[in-house]
Amino acid sequence: MFRSGHSKQLTIVRVLSLCAIIAALALSSCGGGGGSNQPACPPCASQETSFWAADFTTNSYYCICAAEVSTGGAHSRIFAEHSRALPLLLSGLQTEFDTNIYPADTNNFGSEPNPGIDNDPLITILLLNIKDGLSGAGSSYVAGYFDPGNEYPLSANPYSNRREMFYLNINPVLINSGSITAADFYTILAHEFQHMIHWEQKTHLKGLDDDTWLDEAMSEAAPTYIYGPSCGRLDDYEQDPSNSLTDWKGTVADYGIAYMWSQYFKEQFDQPQPGGSIFKQIMQQNSTGVTSVDNALASIPSSRRFDTTFYDMSIAIASGVTTSTWWPGHPEWTFTSIETWPSTCGSYTIPGIFNNPKFQNITTLPLLGPSSITFSSYTPTTISATTGTVTWNTTSGSLAAFIDYGNNKLTTGLVSGVSYSYTTAGLLVVSNPSYTAVASGGSVVRSSVSTLAPAISLSPKLMLESANASSQALGRPRSVCVQSAFKDREKEMRRKGFKPGF
């Protein structure tokens, strides 16, 4: 993902990872790292330690000096860039990590590398001004990250800090404007810690490259074990509810659907010990992506699988909590902690999917990407009428359900070409639980199977630019997780035969 120096940024974006291309250049330009070709950090002041960090504006690494500002932790050590004093809002960070985040993440996902490459059970948390091009309190930013490149020796990665560590952004623009709170930092740390655990359990111990969507979905679940449901992610989801779960690009919308999926799985399948969380079961499988989800469900045991639960989840999203009493005996069709109907969630006003004009009285439903959902609400065609019908037509592999809102009636497994009646309002839910795109049918149309263009993996810079557009539209800053870029870079190192340093 990064190369040394300050030459012009590479602008190639292809399905073949940009990160892998740059990583190859970085390694070749350094002769594989180590020896006299090892890049050098400038001298640090007494009591400071040098660290390599990522510059997301130039796709390069640079060196900083930081002093240890919090000692005596049970599981962590905290360093701050250039001896910067720990911001007041982070005065409890070490205690929060050691007493809440660490036990919750390890209980629900598994162990991190311990003692790891540095033979030290303590995890380093580095507080720094991350170079992400943050231009103001309302722009997008990288809140924090875990770089698995630090788990490799210098012979594999000349920019390795050779320790288990996280980076947290303490840019004064974020701190002074109030754009980020102590609770935000805690959520970020729980999210990134899952990435570290995921790397250890899947990549290091099993030699597997897990799907990015699943890694990110599990990181979205991590903070909810401690801090409860995420109002921000629910809002993200309702902005673009038809985004694909498994076709990962790194946009804000990807995190919305990933959060909805992980929260649904947590509610449906977490068990008291010794079964534990469904995510720990997934982590223990010697497989990746959807296959590991199916294998974990079988191990619980459960007869349900990814595709059937995705369809059930689509109905649960339409139901939220408000309608939970409508489907007695079917907990799989509702959420217990997420209200998707108009509501207030924390500081967010959730509009509800069916109150959005762009999802009302649609006659030609959109193309459905892999593992995606579309919704539409219908009202009678004349003002004086109180009843109506909807006929869903399709020749694709999508599945549909219909809610007669006036009569509190749910019909699942809709048959193409059959009319379904409703009173006052009807709510159509169409899902594509497969891993290829399909065309979904609307009330008066018939569509054939189609395909989408392959997803283009975004570089961190493009992720930030995409999030900036969303920040401006919503009037609030958006954080960006760049884990997929680091994963691609590490994959390239392993392809060349390099291995972690322990």
Distance of CA 352 to the CA centre of its chain: 22
pLDDT above 80 for 410: yes
Q: What pLDDT sits at residue 156?
A: 94
Q: At which residue do the structure tokens 């294998």 appear?
A: 295
pLDDT above 50 for 180: yes
pLDDT above 50 for 131: yes
Segment (H or E) for 409? strand 409-412
Q: What pLDDT sits at residue 377?
A: 87
Contact 415, 400 (CB under 8 A): no
Percent pLDDT > 90 in the chain is 50
Distance CA 502, CA 3 (A): 25
pLDDT above 90 for 73: yes
Distance CA 136, CA 177 (A): 9
- φ, ψ dihedrals at 415, nearest 5°: -100, 130
43's tokens: 């001298």
Distance CA 234, CA 246 (A): 18
Distance of CA 436 to the CA centre of its chain: 21
Q: Quick one: pLDDT band at residue 252, thresholds 50, 70, 90?
A: confident
**Which DSSP category does 127 fall into?**
E
Strand, helix or coil for residue 53: strand
Who wins on pLDDT, 80 or 449?
Answer: 80
Q: What pLDDT sits at residue 383?
A: 77
pLDDT above 50 for 14: no
Q: What pLDDT sits at residue 32?
A: 34
Q: Stretch 397-409: mean pLDDT, rounded?
A: 88
Segment (H or E) for 166? strand 165-169
Q: What pLDDT sits at residue 461?
A: 66
In order of 208, 373, 398, 414, the CA distances from 17 in angstroms are 18, 27, 31, 40
Pairing of strands 387-391, 399-404: unpaired
Who wins on pLDDT, 469 or 358?
Answer: 358
pLDDT above 80 for 211: yes
Distance CA 454, CA 154 (A): 35
Q: Stretch 188-197: mean pLDDT, rounded?
A: 98
Ranges 177-191, 276-290, 303-317, 440-454: which has the least confidence: 440-454
pLDDT above 60 for 419: yes
Contact 389, 402 (CB under 8 A): no
- Average pLDDT of the chain? 83
pLDDT above 80 for 136: no
Who wins on pLDDT, 29 or 495?
Answer: 495
Write out pLDDT tens, residues 137-150.
567 789 999 999 99
pLDDT above 50 for 189: yes
Q: What pLDDT sits at residue 438?
A: 60
Write out pLDDT tens, residues 31-61.
333 444 667 888 899 889 999 999 998 889 9
Write out pLDDT tens, residues 224-243.
999 999 999 999 999 899 99
pLDDT above 50 for 291: yes
233's tokens: 């992610």
Cβ neighbours, 10 Å, residue 484: 24
In order of 144, 152, 165, the CA distances from 362 in angstroms are 40, 53, 49
- φ, ψ dihedrals at 345, nearest 5°: -125, 105
Write out pLDDT tens, residues 81-92.
986 767 778 889
In angstroms and rounded to an integer, the radius of gyration of the C-alpha atoms of the chain is: 24
Q: Quick one: pLDDT band at residue 482, thresholds 50, 70, 90?
A: confident
Contact 432, 368 (CB under 8 A): yes
Percent pLDDT > 70 in the chain is 81
Going through 33-85 in order, the beta strands assigned E by DSSP cover 48-55, 60-70, 76-81
Write out pLDDT tens, residues 304-335.
999 999 999 999 999 988 766 778 889 999 99
- Can you list the alpha helix ranges (DSSP code H) found in 128-273? 172-177, 182-198, 212-221, 224-227, 231-239, 252-269
Q: Quick one: pLDDT band at residue 341, thresholds 50, 70, 90?
A: confident
Distance CA 490, CA 2 (A): 11
188's tokens: 């970020």
The answer for residues whose C-beta is within 8 angstroms of residue 133's C-beta and 6 or more apart is 56, 57, 139, 461, 464
Contact 150, 2 (CB under 8 A): no
Q: What pLDDT sits at residue 130?
A: 94
* 33: region left, alpha or beta (phi > 0 left; psi from -120 to 50 alpha): left
- First-to-last C-alpha distance (Å) of the chain: 23
pLDDT above 70 for 453: no
Task: Name 85's bridge partners.
Answer: none
